[in-house]
Structure 1
């Protein structure tokens, strides 16, 4: 009985360690929090541009995903404007919070009107949770 308990405990520990290593791999090569957030912000917007809301949702904090389902997220964040281009222009970090400044080129979705792309700037908050940077999402 003690051997079974020990085996299960070691297995659970190995699984948890594997998860931490994989999470760390996501930002390997990112030597600073600013670099890590720049990479994740670019991935977030690349997925948004491609309409891959499941990938966008995966970049929200685990605490957010505990209270909002993917379907709820998709209903809230459908596509209102077509994002044509995104550039991360600046990232400023504190110990557990970063702000990514983005330049977005969007095509407004106005029925019956053909409007040229509009460039706008957006500040996004990224939070450190469980050793990883996540796109902050209001509840």
Structure 2
């Protein structure tokens, strides 16, 4: 009986610690990675509204959603995106993103190509936003 109570206590302690870990705030790198992945999923899907919502408040104060769509188009010719690294300072992170596309050249069966870009994410009012020059 004593052993069963001990086992139950250990299980409860592990569950409590797991719950605390899930409540604890995520590191900036994790937050930016999640937001960058969301941004690129939206861009690939042509969800202008979702992508636009992740841009800095400063950009959104200068350009409306339609201007963003005119600047970048509704959908891009990217098959897949992957955030491969995020490096942060106090209020700025650089996310390295791999974008995979298939070049379309008639008559040539070209393979997919992955290009990498570094994008800037800024901390504004406690939230990470993708920086885009207006």
Shared fold by TM > 0.5? yes
TM-score, normalised to structure 1, is 0.72
Q: Which runs of 4+ in 1 moved over 6 A?
A: none
CA contact (8 A) 1:80 1:109 kept: no
Q: Match for residue 34 of structure 2?
A: 39
| Number of residues of Structure 1 aligned to a counterpart in Structure 2 | 112
- Unaligned runs of 5+ residues in structure 2 are 1-22
Q: Match for residue 132 of structure 2?
A: 137
Deviates more, 1:100-109 or 1:49-58: 100-109
Q: Match for residue 70 of structure 1?
A: 65
Residue 56 (str. 1) matches residue 51 (str. 2):
yes
Q: Match for residue 108 of structure 1?
A: 103
Which of 79, 84, 93 is the equivalent residue of 1:89?
84
**1:30 to 1:114, Cα distance in 2 relative to 1, 3 A:** farther
CA contact (8 A) 2:45 2:75 kept: no
Separation in 2 of the partners of 1:30 and 1:46? 23
Calculate the aligned-residue CA RMSD, in Å.
Answer: 2.1
Separation in 2 of the partners of 1:136 and 1:88? 16
- Displacement of 1:40: 0.2
CA contact (8 A) 1:108 1:117 kept: yes
Secondary structure at the counterpart of residue 101 of structure 1? strand
